[in-house]
Amino acid sequence: MGFGLGASLFEGAGVRALRQLRVMPSFAGDLLDPAQSHGDLLVRVAGEDAEVVRKAVADIKAVAARTGWAVRWSIDGFRAENRVEGGRGLARNPFNFTEGFGNPENEREVADRTLVREGQGEPEWAVGGSYQVVRVIRFATELWDKDSVHEQERIMGRRRDGRWLDGAPVGEEPNFAADPKGRRTPLDSHVRLAAPDRRNPPQLVRRSYSYDRGDGDTGIIFSCFQRDLAKGFEAVQKRLEGEALAKYVLTTGGGYFFVPPPCDAWIDALRDGGPGTPQ
Ligand code: HEM
């Protein structure tokens, strides 16, 4: 179980607020539903057994009701083919692509990208904590399925199983410099825009869940952690504007939160947590 604090929680609380925490803005193409966005407190419940997770969520909701906290929104998630390979947590998303390869394989690098440090201008109590971004992203799976796998792979910039389009194996780096016009890996593909400079990887760690609410309302509960929102999520999100993937996805909710220290438990979960029900 994990908690994240929303910007609204700090209003009038008399605590020195965080330098970067604010209500998540609407980015290009977003259609944020206020009833599925933001909030004072994010509660994330995850586990191997969906029934146990559901029971825990019901208990938390009951406690919330007794103590006067209103549940603003909640969503169930799962990770298809959830597994760990080479130190990275992997899962298959509703577009049938495996996600997680771009995350760091070792714990030290995970901590380096995600945990707030001394000297970052954040209050003392926040050192060792992490900014969490949640985005409920709906997938146009019918439209996606009309494209061939080859076209889909050019939109993502990787093969479905993670291999690079220039032939580099999963665990190695592609040579984008040798492909300046994007013949092998299109310039507007997801990974090429997300991480153009292979020596300076994006300063975030992702761990998303799939969701399926029926009637075609399926997609991912994108979630990422970083120690600096502007250098982490926001820098990547801005680069992704105009990507080929944009017409197949729509962000409808989510929020910015701050996970207070200690974060050891969720760092472990980032690497090997099971399927579950984040709230
Ligand atoms: C819109 C729905 C999205 C889908 C379907 C998607 C899917 C993928 C896939 C399949 C990969 C390649 C495998 C991997 O490295 O995990 C990937 C990589 C990545 N994605 Fe996304 N993603 C989405 C949204 C986002 C968002 C919102 C961000 C951040 C703003 C993001 C950031 C990244 C990063 C940083 C990488 C790793 C790039 C690398 O190091 O090569 N993605 N994504």
**Residue 42 structure tokens:** 């994010």
Residue 54 and residue 61 in contact, taking contact as beta carbons nearer than 8 Å: no
| Per-domain residue ranges of the chain | 2-258
The answer, yes or no, to whether residue 13 has pLDDT greater than 80, is: no
Q: Are 37 and 254 in contact (CB under 8 A)?
A: yes
- Which atom, in ligand 1's list, is nearest to the CA of 135? 27
Ligand 1: centre distance to CA 49 (Å): 26
CA neighbor of 116 nearest in space, from 1, 194, 232 = 232
3-state secondary structure of 255: strand
pLDDT band at 197 (very low <50, low <70, confident <90, very high): very high
Q: What is the pLDDT of residue 265?
A: 72
pLDDT band (50, 70, 90) for residue 103: very high
**Ligand 1 proximal residues by C-beta, below 6 Å:** 93, 95, 97, 99-102, 135, 137, 156, 158, 190-191, 194-195, 201-202, 206, 220, 222, 233, 236-237, 240, 245, 249
Phi first, then psi, for residue 42 (nearest 5°) are -100, 130
pLDDT band at 271 (very low <50, low <70, confident <90, very high): low
pLDDT for the residue 26: 98
| Range from 47-51, 61-65, 96-100, 261-265 carrying the lowest mean pLDDT | 261-265
pLDDT of amino acid 254: 98
Tell me the average pLDDT across 78-82: 96
Element (H, E) at 268: helix 264-272
Q: Look at strands 2-5 and 41-46 and give their pairing.
A: antiparallel
Residue with tokens 């980015």: 27
In this prediction, residue 213 has a pLDDT band, given cuts at 50, 70 and 90, of very high
Q: Which of 45, 99, 51 shows the shortest CA–CA distance to 210?
A: 99
Quick one: pLDDT at residue 277? 43
* Interval between CA 98 and ligand 1 midpoint (Å): 10
191 CA from centroid of ligand 1 (Å): 6
What mean pLDDT, rounded, does the chain reach? 93
Residue 248's Cβ-count burial label (10 Å; 0-12, 13-18, 19+) is: buried
Residue 81 phi, psi dihedral angles, 5° rounding = 50, 40
Cβ contact 179:187 at 8 Å:
no
Atom of ligand 1 nearest to the CA of 224: 29
